[in-house]
């Protein structure tokens, strides 16, 4: 059994992907009470994957001592709160008390896991955060090289840089760290969601690793909707109703036919078999969290997600998010909000996973989640790379 600890678990997307990849979370940490309720309720109802998790979900990560896991973990994973780095935030980064990367580093320092996976929003890679991104990577590489009392983060960064360039021999606990921005759509998730992943292996393990290759592409979807037409045939869409967007049509004309790679999955691919919650509410109620939410409308800059492409990135802001990311737009121009169940599918959560709280709270949980499928792909590549002596509990 490969043991893991899940930090900043949220609604459990990253943790469920880790579980599907063969790890068993032995401790879960999440401060938000609605998320804790969601995880506990699904545990008690025997939902897929989380039924084998610990029922107790720890609250504030700052109150958790991870040293009791020292030498026992194959993985620590988590998504440190990303508000300091999101495009919609105030961009305070290292001055923001919500920045939990220092706690992620502390967990690694105390538990000394064989590997770790941390993820965050793509905004962290912007030029304005370049120095702090380097600071995060160097802290993860040398977790025992801690900041001194009252030391400014930039001074600590300079000491880390000197340590990194001048180290000789044993540098203490050290990890080989790589990071990359992954688009979930490139790995079979029906959503264009870009996240930055940090993956590290303890240096004594001698692991050589790279991020998994993409398995799906936009070009393949364009060919499937254009020259091949098998996308429309599969969904039994009449020729008169086959609405290829101009961008996809141009791509099909200019791109070579992809070989050995699958088409991006569209919103229709993922939710097309669900009953329409507005037109067939009785049938829709047979699915958990699949209730019609009124009030969707389009206006400039708020246009929703075309259902024959991967959805735009689901957002936690619900009604007011720019771009209308939480709405679907059908070929006939019809527009409505995605239900919680539809949004869960777009995040590749299983259908028996039920979200607690009102629609807006459930959508907040989903908007902050990691797609289960993307987490599984990354975690499986990490688990497969661990040597036998590191895989034993």
If DSSP states are collapsed to H, E and C, what string results for 131-200? HHHHHHHHHHHCCCCCCCCCCCHHHHHHHHHHHHHHCCCCCCCCEEEEEEEEEHHHHCCCECCEEEEEEE
Report yes or no: 353 and 42 within 8 Å, Cβ to Cβ. yes
If we measure between CA atoms, which residue out of 190, 306, 298 comes closest to residue 242? Answer: 306
Q: For residue 7, how many other CB atoms are within 10 A of its CB?
A: 26
Calculate the alpha carbon distances from 25 to 29, 35, 78, 252 in Å. Answer: 10, 16, 11, 44
d(CA 205, CA 203): 5
d(CA 249, CA 346): 24
Contacts of 71 (CB under 8 A, 6+ apart): 112
Three-state DSSP state, 105: helix
List 199's β-bridge partners, or say none: 117, 178
Active site residue 35: no
Which residue among the candidates 35, 82, 210, 358 is catalytic per the annotation?
A: 82
Backbone phi, psi, residue 5, to 5°:
-120, 135
Q: Write out the catalytic residue numbers.
A: 82
């Amino acid at each position: 059994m490969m043991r893991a600890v899940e930090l900043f678990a949220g609604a459990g997307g990253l943790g469920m992907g880790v579980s599907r990849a063969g790890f068993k979370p032995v401790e879960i940490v999440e401060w938000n009470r609605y998320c804790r309720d969601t995880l506990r309720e699904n545990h008690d109802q025997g939902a897929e994957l989380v039924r084998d998790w610990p029922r107790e979900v720890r609250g504030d990560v700052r109150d958790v001592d991870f040293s009791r896991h020292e030498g026992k973990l194959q993985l620590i994973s988590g998504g440190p709160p990303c508000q300091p780095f999101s495009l919609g935030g105030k961009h305070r980064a290292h001055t923001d008390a919500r920045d939990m990367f220092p706690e992620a580093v502390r967990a690694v320092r105390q538990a000394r896991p064989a590997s770790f996976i941390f993820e965050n929003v793509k905004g962290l890679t912007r030029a304005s955060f370049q120095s702090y991104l380097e600071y995060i990577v160097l802290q993860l590489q040398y977790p025992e090289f801690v900041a001194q009392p009252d030391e400014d983060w930039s001074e600590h960064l300079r000491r880390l840089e000197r340590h990194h360039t001048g180290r000789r021999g044993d540098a203490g606990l050290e990890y080989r760290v790589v990071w990359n921005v992954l688009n979930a759509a490139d790995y079979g998730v029906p959503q264009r969601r870009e996240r930055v992943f940090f993956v590290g292996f303890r240096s004594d393990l001698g692991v050589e690793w790279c991020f998994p290759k993409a398995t799906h592409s936009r070009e393949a979807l364009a060919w499937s909707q254009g020259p091949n037409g098998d996308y429309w045939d599969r969904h039994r869409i009449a020729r008169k109703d086959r609405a290829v967007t101009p961008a996809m049509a141009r791509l099909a004309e200019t791109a070579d036919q992809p070989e050995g790679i699958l088409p991006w999955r569209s919103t229709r691919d993922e939710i097309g078999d669900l009953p329409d919650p507005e037109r067939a509410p009785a049938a829709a109620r047979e699915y958990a969290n699949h209730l019609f939410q009124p009030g969707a409308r389009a206006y400039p800059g708020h246009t929703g997600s075309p259902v024959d492409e991967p959805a735009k990135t689901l957002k936690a802001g619900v009604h007011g998010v720019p771009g209308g990311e939480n709405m679907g737009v059908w070929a006939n121009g019809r527009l409505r909000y995605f239900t919680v169940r539809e949004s869960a599918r777009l995040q590749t959560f299983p259908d028996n996973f039920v979200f607690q709280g009102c629609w807006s709270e459930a959508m907040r949980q989903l908007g902050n989640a990691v797609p289960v499928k993307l987490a599984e792909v990354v975690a499986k590549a990490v688990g497969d790379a661990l040597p036998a002596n590191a895989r034993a509990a």
